[in-house]
Every structure is written in C-alpha cells, then in structure tokens.
Structure 1
Amino acid sequence: MTSLAVENDPYILAPPNPNSPVVLSLWISPGNTHPNAQYRDPVWPLAPLIDSPSTELATIYWQGCPDPLLAQVKQTTWTMINGRLRPTYLLTRGSHSRARTSAADIRDTCNEWMRLARWLHARRLSSLTDCTDDMWRAYIAQRWGDGVSRDHAARVCGKLTDLWAFDQLSARPAGVTRPPWDVEGIDDFLPAANSPARGENSTEPLDPAVLGPLLVWAIRFVDDFADDILAAWAERSRLIAAAEANPAIPEGQAVLAEFLLPNVRSGRGLPSARMHGRRGLARSYISAVTGASVKQIDHFVARNQLSGLANEHPGPCPLEVPVSGQINGNPWRERMDFDEAASLMRHLGTAAVVVCLYLTGMRPQEVQGLRTGCCPDPEPGAQGSASRHLIRSQHYKNVVDDDGNHISAGEAREVPWVAITPVVHAIRVLERMVPDGELLLSASHHDFAFQRGRHGALKGSGLNKRIEDFVAWVNYEAQAQGLSGQVIPEDPHGAIGMSRFRRSLAWHIARRPGGLVALAIQYGHMRTVLDARVSSGYGSRSRSGMHSVLDVETALAAADTAARLRERIAAGEKVSGPAARRALTDAATTPRFEGRIVPKTFAKKAAAFLARDGVVLFDNPDAMLICAFKRETALCDPEPGATAPRQYACQSGCGNTVRTDSHARQLRERADEIDQLAAYSPGPLGKRLRHNADKLRTIADTHDATARPAEAAA
C-alpha cells in the first residue's frame, strides 16, 4: 500500500504488471507505428520512442540480466522509460541533464545497469540493495580496469547514478543506495586524463588530396551522370515489371535458342547479373527482351546446361537508353547496363550526400532528415536574400520540450540553410529518386538491390559504408578511364565518415581560401554568407552551430599563422608592408595551439579571439601574404562585423598587408611558372601572362627594397 504523499506525487510511477506496455501511450507520438511490447516480454523494442529518421532502432534484451536481479533492474528500467527525473534533481546536474533522454541512451543506460547486476551476481549478491557504499567503490575501480577514457568514465558514473535516481521514482523502490561519487564529487573516482575528448572539433578534417577528387567525382555524378543513371534505373524497373508479367508463350523456347545459343557457340558472353558474389544469367532481362517467361528460361537453362556459363563468360545487358554524360569530352559509357543500374543508383545517392554534407556544413542527422520540397526554387523576381535557394530542415541535437524531455523528432530550424548551386542540383537529383513527401534518403527507396522496406532514412553506419564503396568505384573507374590523376587516395586519418565533412568545410574555408581543393568560388561564397551571421544567413540560429565550428578552425589557422611568422623572424627573415608592426606584435603575443583536439568550451574562446579586430593574422597562400585583418582598412569589402577577411577577394595596396622574405621568394617562383606557361600560349594570352609575372616580380622587388628586420620594424 502506498502512502498518500506518494499517490499525489506526479513523479512517482505505480509499479507495472506483466501485461503493462513497455512504453506508455503518452510517450508515443501519433505518427509512430512501431510495435510496442509487454512488460513480461524478454525483448523490449524502444522503437515507439524513436521518431528521428536517422536513428537506429534500439532494443533491450533481458537475457543479459541474471535472474535474481532481473525483476529489480526491469522495474527501474521501465520507470526510466516512462518516468521523468525531478526538476530539483536536474538543477544540480548541469545544463545538459534531461528529464527524459533518447531511446539509445535508455538502452545504453540499461545495459550499464545489467553489467553491474552481473558483477553483483558473480559475488553471490541477489539484490541491488546489496550494492553498498563499499561495493560501489569496488565496482567502479574494477570497471575502469579494461581501460576507458575519463569522459566515458564520467558518463558511466552518471548512468549508475540514474539507477539510484529512477529507483526513487517507483512506488515500490528496490532500495538502491546512492553512489558515493554523487556525494563526494566525481573527480576522485575517475581514471587519469590520458585520452582525448571526443566531439565535433576533435574530428580530423579530410585531407585536401582526398577531398578534392572526391568532390569532383561527386559533382560529376550529380551534374553529368544523373540523367543517364536515372534513365537506366527506370528502364531496368520497366524490364523487371515486364518480365514478372510475361506469360509462357508457345514460341518461348525457340526465341530463347535464337537469343542465347549463338553466344554459347561463339564463346561470347551471356547476359549476366551479379548474384551472391557470382554472376548468373540475367533472367529478368532476358525475359523482358525475348518475351519468354522466367519459368521457360529456367527450363531452357537446365536443358542446355547453361547455369555455369554466365559466370565463366559473363556478358553485358545493354539498355536502350541514351548516354549523355561525358568525362573529358568523351561518353562515360558506351551503353548503360541492366546489371549496373542498381549500383550506380546507390553511388548517385552517395554522391548527392557528399555534396550536401560538404557544401552546406549540415550535421549528418540534418541531411538524413531532409524531405522532398525542402529546397524550393525562389519566387520569380525575388531580390536579395529571398532570391537564394533556402533549405528548410529539422535539427535534432539537444532538442527538448519545455519540461526538459528529449524530443526524438527534433524541431524545424528557425533559420534555413542557404543552398549553393551544387547543393541545389544534389537535392533535385535526390528528389527524383524518391516519391513526393518522402525522406530524400529514405532507407526503403535507396535499397535498390533488395527493396526491403526499411525504417526511416539511411543510417550513419550504412552511409559511411556507401561512401567507402563510392571511393572504391571511383578509383576503379578513374584507372579504367585513364584518369590516374583523379584517383582518391587513402586518407591519412582513416576512413571517410559523414562526421568529417562538417569539420572539413570549416578547415578548407579557413585554410584554403583560394581554393586548392575544388570549387574555390564556393568557399568564397560560403565565407561571405557565414560572416554575415544574419537571419537570412548560413546555417544557424545564433553564433553556435556551423558558425562556432568555423570560428574554431579560423582561430586555429590564425594561431598557426602567428607561429609561422615567429619562426620566420627567428630564422632571420625580414618583413614589409603597412601592417608589419601590428603583425609582429600579434605574433609575439598569440599562443601556439599544440595538437588538434579542442574541447567544446574552445568555441567561445575562438569567437572572442577573432573579435580582436586589427590583431589577428590570416595566411593567404594564393596572394602570398599575411593579412593583419582590420575591418576599417580592409579593401576586400568585408561584411559589417566580419571577424575575418574575404581572402579570395584580396586587393593589392591594402593597409593590412604583411610579407616576409619567404613570400617574396614564392612570388618569384610563381612568376617563373607563369613565364613557362606564357611560352606555350597564343600571342595575346601569352602577353597577359607575362604582364602578370612582371607584376609579381615587382611586388617581390618592393618587398626587398622596404623590408626590415623585426627589431627595426617593431
């Protein structure tokens, strides 16, 4: 019997019975149709809690919990699924604490509880109440024995503390004792800080040598190959439907003999398709082309012993669709092939994802949540920001309701993303691959080979695998097409994953303003829009989001520029330019950033660092100078409030210019390269090139004439 206080407490949950639903109806959104389970079931699907299309469906399997402790862990888990932590409890837990968390976090927390239960059971303890203060200390000390990072250990301690917190929200609590770290403080219970933190800013950007050809091939797929691939897929689908509808015809065997046997006698390949790692006869294709039924083909193959010939002598299955795509002025395919259509559709979708991820700065979840119609064409005659293509999307990170409960479905972004031309093209291609109203990356519609009707959008792990497969296809095709210079090399920091594109965008905007990778003009466009930071701007409701990632990368680049300037001065190089004195002062006072891993708190420090107008240094390798950026003297026309120059629009004669002896040497080397090019160019073009080379040498001569040692310039 429960007390009156317990009955009137809205945070206390009555104990479930064996027939109680695992997820109570109040936590299931109206559009969620995933099956629920009952309390007594050995498997609890948490899919009724999941509305995000990019999230893997989570499940709890109770066979991992020892029988003596099963009832207690199960009840506390049910309370966690359907209850809410008290606001008074959350006030002491930090700003990221939630009354209710995601399904994946619930599963992981339950698994951590079951791990504790197995440890207690191994010591012949049969109740959670047996986990006394001493047992907590012994368990946590042994828990770190396998080697975990300090951050992960802190999360584990939080999950174990939740066991005590949620037990208190049951009308019949098990009596879990409060962990000692929740009373004494967590620091003394964590392992040494010997491993890096994880997060957006700890992700290595993609190497320029990787990203350049990857982006070239992705845009090539979207712009040049898409029409051919989509036409081939439509024709393949038509042929399969025709084959399935074909009845057996009297002349079927004769038609098949006429179509196949000449190839057998001459040794030419038979129309084949890949199945389970082998090539076999393309039965649907042959059926649609000849009019024979699939069953007639099976009889013909058996009678003529053709089953192994298609694998030994595979032949094409040409489709009657035009080929318009080209590589270097030549058709990329002689004919589109029935067997290749599904894999090409898969690669086309992957290419569009690469374009969207890299050229917007969206988080992977946001790209996975896009639907058809998300990027409408601007209204005719619209001016200014209204004439841009805008992407309306959902965002999912840290989305909660007014009570602090996690919202799996996310929420609409208050400010849309700005879509540049390649992104618009990629979205249009994805819209042609799925029905109206569907997710652009619908898992069921992008399952071209098997059509298994999967849930939501393609998941992160699957998309990462598709990117690797796309790279493998590109490298094979590049070699076959004689384009060895467009092969995508292996990235020195590991696999190309979805999470690396966002950091890479910021890295290349900050570090490669002139476009040493692909689409230099797009970098300039994005820097302009990002710096605007207004409601019609790029990617965020505030300075957080993509702006903070860019701020971090730009601050790191500026710190590296200052460090390189110090090194050059220490090596005896001289400096010139109207901003030389400011640059030397900044180089002497800017700390060098050691390493690449930066904590989340660094974003605010980076923004404050960049706001120091006039004393932040930016390297411009294409202009061969350093910009000691000051808005009022900048000739690159920066936006009001901009914290970085428009390096792609660098102007000669700017008051922010600084050069060293190294820059003068680079100017002369570039001039020599241009002279060599001019020697093989037609008259007017060669004359212009030689004029440009002379201008570079003049700038270098001016440096030599005006440069001073650091002591004299300071």
Structure 2
Amino acid sequence: MTTALAHEYDPYILPVPAPDSPVVLPQWIDPGNTHPNTRYRDSVWSLAPLIDNPGATLISIHWKNCPAPLRDEMKRVVWALINGERRPSFLRTKGLSARGRGAAQTMLQKYCEWFRLARWLHQRGITRLADCTEDQWRIYAGVRRDEGISRVHAEMVLGYFTDLWVYDQLSARPAGISCPPWETEGIDDYLPAADGTDNAENSTEPLDPQVLGPLLIWALRFVDNFADDILAAWTEQRRLMEVAASNTATSASRTALKEYLLPLVNSGAPLPVAHVKGRLYLARDYVAAHTGATHAQIERLVMLHGVQDLVLERPAPCPLNIPVTGEIEGSPWREHIFFGEAATLMQQLGTAAALVIVYLTGMRPQEVQALRSGCCPDPDPATDGSTGRHLIRSHHFKNVLDDNGNHVSAGEVRDVPWVAITPVVRAIRVLERMVPEGELLLSAAHHDVHRPGGKQHQGAIRKTSLNRRIESFIVWVNREAEAQGLPDQSVPEDPHGAIGMSRFRRTLAWHVARRPGGLVALAIQYGHMRTVLDTRTSSGYASRSRRGLHSVLDVETALAAADTAARFRDRTAAGERISGPAARRAVTAAAQAPRFEGRLVPKTFAKKATAFLARDGVVLYDNPDTFAICAFKHDNALCEPEPGATAPRQYACKTGCGNTVRTDTHALQLRARADEIDYFVNHTLDPIARKMRANAARLREMADAHDATAQSIEALT
C-alpha cells in the first residue's frame, strides 16, 4: 500500500504499460506529427512519433534483437526511456549538458547498448536484469573497454548503462537493476587509458580541391544550363505516361499499333526501347502514347512476333519532342533527351541543386533538408532602386531546446537568416519547380522520380540517400565528361573517401576563414553566434581555444599564414623594402615558414598546424583591408585578442600596433585606394566628402611613412 501511494504521488514514476498501451504517450507527440504510433505488444516499436525533423531517419526498435528471457523486463525499461523524465536531483550530478529527456537518436544509442548487454548476460545464463550485480557490471565494463573503443566513447557507453539503472527506477514495477559501481567509485578506473587521441574537434575532412572544382562546375551547369531542358523533358515524359495509362482498347488502336510497330519489326529497323532495372525492354508507354494502344494489346503483339528478342538485337532510344537549349562549352549538351532518360536526369538535377545549396551556404545537411518552397523570397527593392540580398529563412536543429532544456526534434526558425548568393537562389528556384508550393525542397515523395505514383515517403530525402545520390551524380558526370571530350572536367576520387553531405560545410570554412573578418562571417553564416553584433561574442566563437569555432580551422589558417610568409619572402627577395615595428621579426618568420604549394594536406597534419600557429611572434597574417601584414605577437597586439589566442582579431586591427609590417606593394595599394576614394569624393556631398578626403589623406600619410622608413632585407639582416 505504501508503495502504491508513493507511485501515485511521485510525478516521475510511470504506470505499468498494458499490451494496448501506446509506445509513445500522447504528451510527447507534437500535434503536427502524423507518424502512426505502435502498441506495447508489438514486436517492432516505432519512435517516429518523436521525430519531427523532416530530414531525420525514422527509428524502430526490433524486439527480436533482445533475448527472449530478458525481453519483458527490458521492454518496461525501454518504455520508461521513451516516456519518462530523469529526475532533476540526478541531472544536477551530471553537469549542465544533462537533459531530462533525450532525442530519439540518443534513445537509439542507449537501447542498442542495452540489447548488447542483454545478449552478453544471456550468454552467461543470466535471465533476470536484477542478477546483473556489481561484479557483472565490472566484468562487462572491462569487456567493452577491451573492444578497442576510445576513452570518450567508453565514458558515453558507461553513462548509457547508468541510465538503464535510472530508468528502471522510473517504472512502477522495476526490474531491480543494480547501480553500476562507477557511480559510487568514480568512472576513471573503468575507462581506457588517456592517450591524447580523444578530442572534441571536428574531424570531418574537407573535400580535396581537385574534387570540388569539377563537382561544383557540373552542379552549376545542371542548375544554370540544363534545368529548363530536364524539367521540360520530365513534363513531356509524364504526359506520355499518363496518355498511355488512359488508353482504351479498340480496333483502331490495334490497327495503329500494327502500322507503327510491324514495319519496324519486318524491315530490320531499330526498335524503341527503355531501360527497366538494368534490362532492355520495348518502350511500352512510349509506343502506347504514340499509337493509342493499351499495354495488353502491345503485350500480345510482342509475344506473337517475338519482339523482345528483336529489342535486344536492335535497340534504339526514344527521343522526346522538346527543344534542347542548354550548352556545354558553347555547344548543345544533347541533340535529344530520350524517354526514360528524363527520370535519371531529374534525379541528377535535384542532387546538383542540393550540392550548390549545401556548399555555398554552409548549412548542415539537416538544415538543407528542412528548406521549403518559398524559404528564399525575392527581396523588396530599396528606395534608391537597389536590390537587397536574398535571405533564406528556415529551421535549424542543433542545440534547440524547450523550456525544460530538452531537445526539440522539430527545431526552430533560425534567428539570423542565411545569406544566399545568386547560384544558391537559382538552385532554390529549380527545386521550387520540382515540388509543390510550400513543400520541402528535397521532398522524398516528389524526388522519387523513378517510382512516380509508388510508395510515398514522408519528409525529406534522407542523408544516406543524398550521399548515394552524390556518388551516382559523380558517376554520371564522369561518363558525360568522357562523352563530351572533357576528361579534364571529370571528378577524381577524393583521397579521404566518399563525398558526403557533411563534408561540404567543412570545406566552405576553408575559403571563408582565410579572408579578413572571415571568422565573423563564418560565425554569422554558420549560426555559431546568438548575438552577431557583439564582437566579443564573435571572438569567443572564433577563438583559438579547442572549444572555439576556429578549432576546426587550424590547418587552413596555417596554410594561409604560410602563403603570406611565402609571398612576403618572394617580394623582399625581388628587392621590395620593408617597414613597420615588426619588420625584423617578419623577415625571420618568413625565413622559417614552410611552403605548401600544391600539397595535399593529410589528416595527420592537424597537430603540426596547431604547433605552427602557436609560435607567438613569428606567424604572419595578411590583412588586405588594412594593407599590412600582422606578425602576431600576443602581448603587442592592440586588437585585444582573447587570452591564449594565436591569431589576431583582424577586423579590429588598429594603427600603431607593434605587430604591423608593410612592403612597397602595400604602399602602392594605400595610394591606389586613396586615389579611388578621391574619385568618389567628386560625386559625394559634404560632410561625408570631408571624411572621405581625410581618410584618403591618412592613407597617403601611411604610404609616405613607409617610404621614409622602409629598409631592404639586407639592411634588416
């Protein structure tokens, strides 16, 4: 009786589920979620009612993977995992990142580990979870540790086993799972030894430039040059298929079929074919649309005259009656688009548009998958007649939490929209022509062009499917490049493996971070800042600390610094003079810096890059906006870098800094910029014109100061 009362008044205790109980209780299902809910008695449980992210993979629990003797007890614990909330008293012991409820993907990771434990217990003859004693926990922790998992992964796995104990306590009929010993003794002794290999850095490899160049060229070709032809061909192919499906068998249609097909059969002429699952068949829809015959009438004639054997001997494509306007290198890319080919080209077009968006916006794959038609409206013209920037307003998902600190599967509209450059806008417009208004741009139902009218998938094309489509796109591109006589535009294999959606965001960072102010732009576009106007916040996100955004960019920044040193070395060797308080240090730095011309940088180079950038005082950073080089020494910097930073805040560069270096080229650039300002002054009214003249005069003074103090490299060494 006491226990029953305790359960009644404890809001965290869940009732014992009945066979007909829903797997996901109604309070956890978003009103817009239409995925069917399964029942407790079912052998497969769906977690789809918890998943509102349109690009996420739907998750199911297959109870056949759990040993039968332990299945009933494990079902109660997993049901508690799905519907329960961990107590605040427990969460306070686990740090700020601990959540009362996890996302469906986290639940997947947990129950998979629990099933693995259950199979191990079953092999040892243990048929009750309560018999998993402290000794069993110790042995199994050692088993998992010795399987070669990393220290970080091992700590995560042991946390999942702690949750098995925690969620069991949320059941009105607990199995009696014992508390794992690492909760009372500390976890360190149960983990693999620290070897320095575990870290929280982004290990995703950027794409090789030799891969990215031709891949982006072909993706843009599809969007800019081929899209109209492909969409017109797809419309015509669907029209023919609809006509074929609506035909009615008549004597006239039978006569028309014979008059069309038999002369081809008897004369030895090629026969219209279509590829179906890798095999050649008579193009029945094409023939039906042109003759009015039904499929049954065509099939009888095919059988009567042995047409299928002739098709294999004399195949011919079926041109669609549409004009081809797209070009490659100034010549038409096709004479005709053929019936059956249009579906493949539509898939490649969708893939190409997705590639353009994911690379040229820096979005995460799930953010691209969430884009809908209408997400990037044309901007209203300004009062001066100019056109503003296109902005993409859509959802993001990472670190989106509700009021209780739990993950929100549906995400939320991003506070700061993404900026869309012209190629991205064109890609979005192409996808908007492929899906209905308001639909997901990568809707799985509308992009499954090979099976129109078949099973309709909910949500966006899954990330794994998009990755496969990218590989298929590359195969198509390489075949087409060879056919067009453009072998130099084929896409080579990437040295780091398959080209997946996640690698494009990482690659774009390389280009942005190398520009002055690039870290700010990166933080804004990538959504790493809540307050984009706060430079202190932006510096924190782009800092050199291992937790900062810049932690994934050491290699690229090191290469940029080495490029700066190489250019400086070449200029001074050619006779240019040097000025500035850090001139002598810059000469030393340039002499010590390595060259990376034409080199492919392996993953193992990351540590070397970090060490290279940590050499305070002898790393050179180019800043074209100030027409100077920064020989960054932390204590001299007037840009107020964060403690421990190994790079300047280039957007906060100040005159008079002890790290400044200039060459004769910089002096020429200063004067050229001053002349450019003078040109605009003649078309500008006061008081702005006075400020512009003062700025031009200041630039000339800086150039004059260089000329007066500059020395040759021989004089400095």
> What TM bracket, shorter-length normalisation?
0.7 to 0.9
The separation in 2 between residues aligned to 1:595 and 1:533, in whole angstroms, is 23
For residue 66 of structure 1, report the CA deviation from its aligned partner. 1.8
Distance change (3 Å), C-alpha of 1:173 and 1:419: same
1:472 aligns to 2:439 (yes or no): no
1:501 aligns to 2:504 (yes or no): yes
Q: Is the 8 A contact 2:512 2:521 kept in 1?
A: no
Q: Which amino acid aligns with 1:551?
A: H
1:643 aligns to 2:649 (yes or no): yes
Q: Is the 8 A contact 1:562 1:586 kept in 2?
A: no
Which stretch of structure 1 is more off in the superposition, 149-158 or 325-334?
Answer: 149-158
Q: Which amino acid aligns with 1:474?
A: V
Distance change (3 Å), C-alpha of 1:182 and 1:534: closer
Q: Which amino acid aligns with 1:145?
A: D
The separation in 2 between residues aligned to 1:144 and 1:537, in whole angstroms, is 36
Deviations 1:289-333 (A, max 9, x none): 222222211111111111133233321111111111001111101
Tell me the equivalent position of 2:52: 51
Tell me the equivalent position of 1:681: none
Which stretch of structure 1 is more off in the superposition, 128-137 or 238-247?
Answer: 128-137
For residue 378 of structure 1, report the CA deviation from its aligned partner. 0.2
The separation in 1 between residues aligned to 2:241 and 2:51, in whole angstroms, is 35
Tell me the equivalent position of 1:72: 73
Tell me the equivalent position of 2:530: 541
Tell me the equivalent position of 1:91: 92
Deviations 1:590-639 (A, max 9, x none): 9999974799xx99x99x999x9x98633699xx9966589999xxxxxx
Provide the secondary structure at the position in 1 that maps to 2:251: coil
**Aligned positions of 1:405-484 closer than 5 A:** 405-451=406-452, 452-484=455-487
**Aligned positions of 1:281-296 closer than 5 A:** 281-296=282-297
Distance change (3 Å), C-alpha of 1:609 and 1:177: same
Tell me the equivalent position of 1:380: 381
The separation in 1 between residues aligned to 2:103 and 2:352, in whole angstroms, is 30
Q: Is the 8 A contact 1:507 1:550 kept in 2?
A: no
Tell me the equivalent position of 2:520: 531
Q: Is the 8 A contact 1:510 1:553 kept in 2?
A: no
Tell me the equivalent position of 2:694: none
For residue 441 of structure 1, report the CA deviation from its aligned partner. 0.3
1:156 aligns to 2:161 (yes or no): no
Distance change (3 Å), C-alpha of 1:366 and 1:334: same
Q: Which amino acid aligns with 1:466?
A: R
Tell me the equivalent position of 2:348: 347
For residue 502 of structure 1, report the CA deviation from its aligned partner. 0.5
The separation in 2 between residues aligned to 1:165 and 1:305, in whole angstroms, is 70
The separation in 2 between residues aligned to 1:40 and 1:189, in whole angstroms, is 37
Tell me the equivalent position of 2:713: 708
Provide the secondary structure at the position in 1 that maps to 2:202: helix
The separation in 1 between residues aligned to 2:48 and 2:558, in whole angstroms, is 46
For residue 21 of structure 1, report the CA deviation from its aligned partner. 1.1
The separation in 2 between residues aligned to 1:538 and 1:75, in whole angstroms, is 40
Q: Which amino acid aligns with 2:405?
A: G
The separation in 2 between residues aligned to 1:546 and 1:15, in whole angstroms, is 47
For residue 659 of structure 1, report the CA deviation from its aligned partner. 10
The separation in 2 between residues aligned to 1:279 and 1:6, in whole angstroms, is 67
The separation in 1 between residues aligned to 2:558 and 2:525, in whole angstroms, is 30
1:327 aligns to 2:333 (yes or no): no
Q: Is the 8 A contact 1:202 1:598 kept in 2?
A: no
Q: Is the 8 A contact 2:569 2:591 kept in 1?
A: no
Distance change (3 Å), C-alpha of 1:260 and 1:531: same
Q: Which amino acid aligns with 2:504?
A: F
Q: Which amino acid aligns with 1:140?
A: A
The separation in 2 between residues aligned to 1:145 and 1:191, in whole angstroms, is 8
Provide the secondary structure at the position in 2 that maps to 1:473: helix
The separation in 2 between residues aligned to 1:567 and 1:221, in whole angstroms, is 38
Q: Is the 8 A contact 2:357 2:424 kept in 1?
A: yes
Q: Is the 8 A contact 1:415 1:539 kept in 2?
A: no
The separation in 2 between residues aligned to 1:499 and 1:456, in whole angstroms, is 19
Q: Is the 8 A contact 2:586 2:661 kept in 1?
A: no
Distance change (3 Å), C-alpha of 1:538 and 1:67: closer
For residue 287 of structure 1, report the CA deviation from its aligned partner. 0.7
For residue 454 of structure 1, report the CA deviation from its aligned partner. 0.8
**Match 2:492 to one of 489, 493, 497:** 489
For residue 558 of structure 1, report the CA deviation from its aligned partner. 3.5
Tell me the equivalent position of 2:248: 247
Tell me the equivalent position of 2:136: 135
Q: Is the 8 A contact 2:565 2:593 kept in 1?
A: no
The separation in 1 between residues aligned to 2:374 and 2:560, in whole angstroms, is 43
For residue 171 of structure 1, report the CA deviation from its aligned partner. 2.2
Provide the secondary structure at the position in 2 that maps to 1:203: coil
Tell me the equivalent position of 1:690: none
The separation in 1 between residues aligned to 2:614 and 2:377, in whole angstroms, is 38
Provide the secondary structure at the position in 2 that maps to 1:21: coil
Q: Which amino acid aligns with 2:31?
A: P
Q: Is the 8 A contact 1:530 1:547 kept in 2?
A: yes
Deviations 1:195-240 (A, max 9, x none): 9558772111000010000000000100000000000011111111
The separation in 2 between residues aligned to 1:657 and 1:297, in whole angstroms, is 81
The separation in 2 between residues aligned to 1:383 and 1:569, in whole angstroms, is 43
Which stretch of structure 1 is more off in the superposition, 263-272 or 529-538?
Answer: 529-538
Which stretches in structure 1 are left out of the alignment for 5+ residues?
Answer: 514-526, 634-640, 647-653, 661-701
For this pair of structures, how many residues does the alignment match?
Answer: 633
Q: Which amino acid aligns with 1:581?
A: R
Provide the secondary structure at the position in 1 that maps to 2:23: coil
The separation in 2 between residues aligned to 1:180 and 1:538, in whole angstroms, is 40
Q: Is the 8 A contact 2:372 2:440 kept in 1?
A: yes
Q: Which amino acid aligns with 1:541?
A: R
For residue 150 of structure 1, report the CA deviation from its aligned partner. 2.4
Provide the secondary structure at the position in 2 that maps to 1:464: helix
Tell me the equivalent position of 2:236: 235
Provide the secondary structure at the position in 2 that maps to 1:445: helix
Q: Is the 8 A contact 1:628 1:658 kept in 2?
A: no
The separation in 1 between residues aligned to 2:31 and 2:199, in whole angstroms, is 35
Provide the secondary structure at the position in 1 that maps to 2:274: strand
Q: TM-score, with normalisation over the residues of structure 1?
A: 0.80
Deviations 1:631-680 (A, max 9, x none): 999xxxxxxx993489xxxxxxx9744699xxxxxxxxxxxxxxxxxxxx
Q: TM-score, with normalisation over the residues of structure 2?
A: 0.79
Distance change (3 Å), C-alpha of 1:79 and 1:587: farther
Distance change (3 Å), C-alpha of 1:386 and 1:74: farther
The separation in 1 between residues aligned to 2:177 and 2:456, in whole angstroms, is 43
Distance change (3 Å), C-alpha of 1:56 and 1:598: farther
Q: Which amino acid aligns with 2:483?
A: A
The separation in 2 between residues aligned to 1:361 and 1:474, in whole angstroms, is 23
The separation in 1 between residues aligned to 2:513 and 2:499, in whole angstroms, is 20
Q: Is the 8 A contact 1:625 1:657 kept in 2?
A: yes
What is the percentage of aligned positions where both structures have the same residue?
54
The separation in 2 between residues aligned to 1:15 and 1:373, in whole angstroms, is 47
Which stretch of structure 1 is more off in the superposition, 417-426 or 246-255?
Answer: 246-255
Tell me the equivalent position of 2:260: 259
1:557 aligns to 2:563 (yes or no): no
Which stretch of structure 1 is more off in the superposition, 425-434 or 104-113?
Answer: 104-113
1:179 aligns to 2:180 (yes or no): yes
1:276 aligns to 2:265 (yes or no): no
The separation in 2 between residues aligned to 1:70 and 1:588, in whole angstroms, is 68
The separation in 1 between residues aligned to 2:384 and 2:69, in whole angstroms, is 70
Deviations 1:2-46 (A, max 9, x none): 253432221121221222111100011111121112212211111
Provide the secondary structure at the position in 2 that maps to 1:125: coil
Provide the secondary structure at the position in 1 that maps to 2:445: coil
Provide the secondary structure at the position in 1 that maps to 2:713: coil
Aligned-residue Cα RMSD (Å) equals: 4.1
